[in-house]
Structure 1
Amino acid sequence: MDDNPVIETSISTRVLTPADVEAYRSVRLRALHERPPAFGSLPETEPDLAETAVRLAESMDRCFFGAFQVKRLIGIIRLSRYEAINEKHRAYLAGLYVLPEFRKRGCGRVLVSQALHRATMTAGVRR
């Protein structure tokens, strides 16, 4: 029998805000516990809620997307621009994670697609 529940409602995505800090941090910590090398940091080095909320604030150089099933955050990804002045035309994706029970259902694909769409719509980003 399949251990993954069937997603009965569609997945929605949106840019995360500081108001999403508790849900985001919970998913992020789960990701770090599961695969710390993939994320380049350890759970014990993650910032507290206040600093995480500051990081979630959308800027010209960074935003976080979340995938939701109903109101539950089930996946995350970050879109960032390179900081160097000669690389500001480039953006990258990082921190993709989907809760194990929602994998292989297209959630990661939707997150990547939304982040790439946002990058193509961002002034000055060419790569």
Structure 2
Amino acid sequence: MLLKSTTRHVRIYTAEIQKNELIPSETVLTLDVDPDNEFVWPEESLQKVYRQFDALVESNSGEDLTEYNLRRIGSDLEAFIRDLLQKGELRYNLDSRVMNFSMGLPQMDHPDSQGAYLQ
């Protein structure tokens, strides 16, 4: 049975991808990060998200695989992504079709505007 967790920037499925389709699996989790391309992802930041996902999955090993547990992992990853954005390790994709700044207004990258936001 396919279970899933969907947040704004994280989708987790109990499935594996075969021929571009999700095939339900009881042993594989598939992670889709930022499906709307709201952010510009340096490879290092994306790898941090994958490592955090692996750590969260590992910390939940032995637990029942339920939608609730998947949602907890997804919510924790969403918070992790917000932290990366606030630290400047990723930024909004201003060419994205989604321009809702769902994790707060972009910070201006200028020494005189420390802590200021675009208006």
Report the TM-score, using the length of structure 1 for normalisation: 0.29
Between Structure 1 and Structure 2, the one with more strand by share is 1
Report the TM-score, using the length of structure 2 for normalisation: 0.30
Between Structure 1 and Structure 2, the one with more helix by share is 1
Q: Please identify the structure whose Cα radius of gyration is greater.
A: 2
